[in-house]
Amino acid sequence: MAAGGRGFASAQPKGGSPAGEVGGACSFPAGAVIGARSGVRGRARCLPGLEAGRKMLGLSLLVGFSTGLLAYYWARVPKRPLLVACQPFRSFLEKHCPIVDEKFYPTPWCFEGRLQTIVRVLLKSRPPVHYRSEVLRTRDGGQLLLDWADDEDRDTGHPDPESCPIVLFLPGLTGNSEETYILHMVRTARQQGYRAVVFNNRGCKGEELLTYRAFCANNTEDLELVVAHIKSQFPRAPLIAVGVSLGGILVLNYVGRKGREAGLVAAMTFSVTWDAFETTHSLERPLNLVLFNQRLTTNLRQLIQRHRKVIAEKLDVDHVLKARSIREFDERYTAVAFGYNSCEEYYRAASPRHKVHRFHVPVLCLNASDDPFSPQHAIPLDAAQCVPTLALLVTSHGGHIGFLEGLFPRHESYMDRVFAQFVAAVFEHQEELQAAVTAEGGKELERDQSPPLLDQ
């Protein structure tokens, strides 16, 4: 035993561990251990090179993707808008609104329609506008708010305040005078020396809803009241109506219904939806349903919830609040509240594309081909070729109330520039415009013989 013990002891190195053991757990040849340590050091020396290679690869991919995107953008995206209008209205626009012949350069990193629609909501700045509110009572016992832009430090600068031109704005669905797109156009109108007033649909500016009826795309009674009120206050002032989305539908239906008695020198719309059936079909596609339809329906349900007490006098509010799409909301609330037999009847009556032959007021409508709310095939391009008072300006990109341009699109948009040029052209060249849209007298018979409008 002693000999064996000494032999074992003599095999141990002075360090106390058997030769080749690492940590006393495994047995390797000493050379292998040295080689392993050298390999670790070698791999450690290679790591910075591998990391640098990965970074270079990622940078190369990013540069390649960016270059490809920019090449696609410059080759395919910037285009001149499509202008569809009869002569001489078309010539009037080309002369006094040069933007209709210029290329539109949408923001390179969000030129797609849905992105334009979403980014506008997230990034658009809010210029300060001070309003003076006026309450109007309606014939059915309701109320609505008019917001007059009242900048204390800015006068219109018009030589005759009584004849100072007025711009009437109509916001989109559940919108009001505080929407960013309204604020920008109101500021522009004031800078041009015009009065600006915003028509807020019932219940949309925080005021109490006094009746169970809020608003409807085909019911223009409140707009008729507003126009009559403005004309009574400023009988010598020219008036133009500018509607956005739902507000645009109201403007077009009003112009089609009132004809020469509209009380307007011109009208203008942005991102109007021409056919309610096509709009709901587009918004019920899976992606659009998630991004837009459900959000707007939530806003509508919140409006009903805020005014639940008065609405419950006539409608089943709980049933309305279960709506999960705009179509379901219109079936359960709008069509019922405004006396339609069905949602389909309401949509037929509310679609302005069927009324363009009754337009006796010059109208310019800006739409985008990639608007998820208003498909291009629903825009009445053919009809505009034989209606002397209608001009359609259609861009390839822009989305719904987007029309963003520049690398950081927080401020002025393409839509704002079209607005500024057209409004100035209307107010500064009224006689020339009137002559342009009445030159084709032969069209009057065709327009007067168009089928009657559906009742409200």
Cβ 106 vs Cβ 119: under 8 Å:
no
pLDDT tier at 421, thresholds 50, 70, 90: very high
**Both tokens assigned to 21:** 């053991």
Helix axes 414-428, 430-438, angle to 10 degrees: 90
Positions marked active-site: 245, 371, 400
Q: pLDDT exceeding 90 applies to what percent of the chain?
A: 76
For residue 448, give the nearest of 369, 377, 360 by alpha carbon.
360
pLDDT tier at 295, thresholds 50, 70, 90: very high
Peptide bond connecting 286 to the previous residue in cis, omega within 30 degrees of 0: no
Cβ 113 vs Cβ 398: under 8 Å:
yes
Q: What is the pLDDT of residue 155?
A: 57
For residue 395, give the nearest of 387, 404, 386 by alpha carbon.
404
Q: What is the pLDDT of residue 103?
A: 97
Residue 123 φ then ψ, to 5°: -110, -25
Q: What is the pLDDT of residue 41?
A: 54
290-323 burial code (b ≥16 CB/10 A, e <16): eebbeebbeebbebbeebeebbeeebebeebbeb
153 pLDDT more than 60 = no
39 pLDDT more than 60 = no
Q: What is the pLDDT of residue 29?
A: 52
Under DSSP, is residue 150 helix (H, G, I), strand (E, B) or coil? coil
26 pLDDT more than 50 = no
pLDDT tier at 397, thresholds 50, 70, 90: very high
Q: What is the pLDDT of residue 24?
A: 42
Q: What is the pLDDT of residue 159?
A: 74
Q: What is the pLDDT of residue 59?
A: 75
How, if at all, do strands 26-27 and 21-22 pair? Answer: antiparallel
Chain mean pLDDT for the chain: 87
Average pLDDT over residues 167-195: 97
Cβ 267 vs Cβ 283: under 8 Å:
no
Q: What is the pLDDT of residue 50?
A: 76
If you average pLDDT over each of 2-11, 33-42, 290-299, which comes out highest? 290-299
d(CA 338, CA 324): 20
Torsion angle defined by CA atoms of residues 397, 403, 405 and 411, in that order, rounded to the nearest 10 degrees: -170
Average pLDDT over residues 267-292: 97
Q: pLDDT exceeding 70 applies to what percent of the chain?
A: 84
Average pLDDT over residues 80-102: 97
44 pLDDT more than 70 = no
* pLDDT higher at 161 or 131: 131
Angle at 148 between CA 147 and CA 149, to 5 degrees: 115
Q: Which amino acid is at 348?
A: R
- The region of weakest confidence among 152-161, 255-264, 328-337 is 152-161
Q: What is the pLDDT of residue 453?
A: 41
If you average pLDDT over each of 154-168, 222-236, 439-453, which comes out highest? 222-236
Cβ neighbour number for residue 66 with a 10 Å cutoff: 12
Average pLDDT over residues 295-311: 97
161-191 burial code (b ≥16 CB/10 A, e <16): eeebbbbbbbbbbbbbbbbbbbbbbbbbbbe
Cβ 401 vs Cβ 271: under 8 Å:
yes
Q: What is the pLDDT of residue 13?
A: 42
